[in-house]
Amino acid sequence: MRLDDETLESCEINELRETVEHLKQVKAKLQRSEELYRFLTEHSIDAIWRLDDQFRFVYVSSAVENLLGYQPEEIVGRHLFGILVQESIDIVSQGYASHKALQDAGQRWGSSTYTVEVIHKDGHHIWAEVTVNPIFEDGNQLIGYNGITRDISARRKNEEVIRQYAFCDPLTNLPNRRSFEEELGRVIDQHRELNKSFAIMFLDVDGLKKVNDAYGHAAGDALLQVVADRICHVIRKQDFVARLAGDEFMALLPGIGDSCAVDLLATRLIENFHQTILIGAHKVRIGVSIGISFFPEDADSVNDLMSYADKAMYEAKKNGGSRYVCYG
């Protein structure tokens, strides 16, 4: 019996030793995890942070200094909205409102990503991508948020360059065909709703080929820039001018349904190109042929309005150029 007691005591001691050894291993593992987390947090180029449930910072990693110019202690205790522009506050508030409905229904939600404009300590703005993860406790009780903020200003700049190439003519800095078609579609919808008319002009330069042949394409490009400037100088501020391709331009004239007003504007454009143009050391003379179509009298779609204005422009060219023709 005594031997059994000793055996039992020995087993209990061994189990205790195993438990202690296991706890040491768990502690060491937790320490390593904590050290790794601290290393990743403090050496990440992205700012890592935590908010309480009122959107106030309770922790910010040291990367915030490179990102926003603040020391971490300058951010802790501040409200998130204090470093966002109003448009970004609205975006975050909308996201919160949708999640609040889930919270009121006793549900959880996952991470969310926002693109926001953040105010740097020195006052300039940066674009940032923010990933937010809610923190829940005791079931579905929200107690705060963990998040990561990454500077994407360079990416936004590249996207803007791409967008500009997609919608802007690089030679004249005017909108391109794609941009014109989108704007024309918008104006069609607007004027259809208001039951109003408007006109578009298709303009083609008379004499560009002669300039290219005589002085080279660089001179031709310089001439197109002058053409763009002259068109924009004559038309109204509310009008929309685009370069389609080559020597073809279009002007959208919202609110003009009176043919007399369009006639006056077209005449002014044609007369403006009767003047000699100086390209480098060369004096050149060109003209402009204009075709005009009206919404909704001639057509009520983007393609048809542009096509009819194009046909009217070719009619003007056939009749000698430097004139305008209305479709129909």
In CATH, what number is assigned to the domain containing residue 99?
3.30.450.20
pLDDT of residue 256: 86
Is it the case that residue 39 has pLDDT exceeding 50? no
- CA dist 282 to 205, 206, 213, 216, Å? 18, 17, 13, 12
User: For 214-218, which contacts have Cβ atoms below 8 Å and span 24 or more sequence positions?
Assistant: 214/282, 215/279, 215/280, 215/282, 215/284
Is the model more confident about 14 or about 28? 14
Q: Is residue 69 scored above 60 in pLDDT?
A: yes
Q: What is the pTM of this model?
A: 0.61
Mean per-residue pLDDT for 6-28? 64
Please indicate, yes or no, whether residues 292 and 180 belong to a single structural domain of this protein.
yes
pLDDT digits (tens, 9 = 90+) for 257-281: 778 889 999 999 999 998 889 998 8
Amino acid sitting at position 9: E
Q: Are residues 175 and 91 in the same domain?
A: no
Dihedral (C-alpha) 7, 11, 12, 17: value to the nearest 10 degrees? 140
Domain end among 124, 156, 188: 156
Please, are residues 316 and 289 in contact by the beta-carbon 8 Å criterion?
Answer: yes
**147 and 272 share one domain:** no
Output the average pLDDT for the chain. Answer: 88
Q: Specify whether 114 is located in the same domain as 217.
A: no
Q: Same domain, yes or no, for 244 and 265?
A: yes
DSSP codes joined into one string, 162-182: HHHHHHB-TTT-SB-HHHHHH
Domain membership flag for residue 162? no
Residues 60 and 117 in one domain: yes
List Cα–Cα distances, 122 to 65, 67, 84, 118, 149, in angstroms: 12, 11, 14, 11, 18
Q: What is the pLDDT of residue 140?
A: 80
CATH of residue 307's domain is 3.30.70.270
Question: How sure is the predictor about 36, in pLDDT bands with cuts at 50, 70 and 90?
Answer: very low
Q: In this structure, is residue 65 part of a structural domain?
A: yes
Give dist(CA 79, CA 83) in Å, integer.
8
**Structural domain span for residue 223:** 168-326
226 and 289 inside one domain? yes
Shared domain for 125 and 218, answered yes or no, is: no
Token pair of 133, please? 């993860």
Residues 56 and 97 in one domain: yes
Structural domain contains residue 209: yes
**128 in a domain, yes or no?**
yes
Quote the pLDDT of residue 1. 45
| Residues 52, 148 within the same domain | yes
Is the residue at 23 inside a domain?
Answer: no
Number of domains in the chain: 2
Question: Is the same domain home to 144 and 172?
Answer: no
**Residue-wise pLDDT tens digits, 248-259:** 999 999 988 778
Judged against a pLDDT cut of 90, whether residue 5 lies above it is answered with: no
State the average pLDDT over residues 71-75: 95
* Cα distance from N-terminal residue to C-terminal residue, the chain: 119
Q: Look at residue 35 and tell me whether its pLDDT is greater than 60.
A: no
